[in-house]
């Protein structure tokens, strides 16, 4: 039985891998079952249909890239600057596998064609920006500066895997550390 050998989370993560590899059209029950080495019958023990799987995939992605990170940072405590340092460390230490990067890109592309996914993506982006605003406001009284710093941080996270920089003789890690210090001034 699939429930004994193939937990619900494995179906969801296999769906996220398929999404990363080929977009939402690649999320097919039969293909995911093949990838998991099980029959598709086990799928229906967990999900009513493909749409239910897609919804749970988005729920999982949202939780993993937003709420789990925020919870981890908040659990460590500290003032705004300290929590931002912790946030940079937590996000920087996460193994950003090609699947995670691919998933984010696929969701952002999917959102261009699907209003419900666009709504979800906007909610995730706004949640992340709202969290950052709260942290920066603890030590930065200028609202325009708060917004600018938030945009820098979110843009760095989203675009970091899309661009390659030639920093000359400088190490990329050193340049990124300088950026982190700059936004924390």
Residue 110: the pLDDT is: 97
Does a structural domain hold residue 74?
A: yes
CA 108/CA 86 separation, integer angstroms: 26
The angle at the Cα of 113, spanning 46 to 28, to the nearest 5 degrees, equals 30
Question: 53-71 burial by CB neighbour count: b if 16+ within 10 A, else e?
Answer: bbebbbebbbeebbeebbe
80 occurs within a structural domain: yes
- Is residue 10 one of the residues assigned to a domain? no
Indicate whether 102 belongs to any domain: yes
The reply to whether 114 falls in a domain is yes
Residue 135 has pLDDT above 70, yes or no: yes
What CATH number is attached to the domain comprising 153?
1.10.357
Q: Taking the model in full, what pTM does it have? A: 0.86
Number of H helices, E strands in the chain: 10, 0
Measured between alpha carbons, how far is 136 from 114 in angstroms, rounded to an integer?
A: 33
Number of domains in the chain: 1
Residues 6+ apart with CB under 8 A from 28: 18, 50
Residue 172 lies in a domain: yes
Q: Is residue 65 part of a domain?
A: yes
In a domain, 90, yes or no: yes
What is the Cα Rg of the chain in Å?
A: 19
pLDDT of residue 1: 40
The residues near 81 (Cβ < 8 Å, ≥ 6 apart) are 135, 138, 139, 184
60 close to 100: Cβ distance less than 8 angstroms: no
Assess whether pLDDT exceeds 70 at residue 95.
no
3-state secondary structure (DSSP) of residue 154: helix
pLDDT above 80 for 17: yes
> Which structural domain, as residue segments, surrounds residue 99?
55-184
């Amino acid at each position: 039985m699939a429930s004994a050998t193939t937990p619900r989370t494995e179906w969801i993560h296999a769906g996220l891998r398929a999404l990363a590899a080929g977009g939402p059209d690649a999320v097919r029950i039969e293909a995911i079952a093949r990838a998991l080495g099980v029959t598709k019958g086990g799928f229906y023990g967990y999900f009513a249909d493909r749409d239910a799987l897609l919804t749970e995939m988005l729920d999982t992605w949202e939780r993993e890239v937003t709420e789990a990170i925020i919870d981890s940072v908040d659990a460590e405590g500290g003032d705004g600057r300290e929590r931002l340092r912790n946030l940079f460390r937590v996000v920087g230490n996460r193994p950003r596998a090609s699947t995670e990067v691919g998933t984010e890109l696929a969701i952002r592309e999917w959102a261009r064609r699907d209003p419900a996914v666009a709504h979800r993506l906007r909610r995730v982006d706004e949640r992340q920006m709202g969290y950052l605003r709260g942290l920066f406001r603890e030590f930065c009284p200028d609202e325009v500066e708060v917004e600018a710093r938030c945009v820098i941080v979110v843009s760095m996270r989203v675009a970091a895997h899309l661009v390659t920089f030639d920093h000359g003789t400088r190490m990329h890690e050193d340049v990124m550390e300088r950026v982190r210090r700059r936004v924390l001034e």
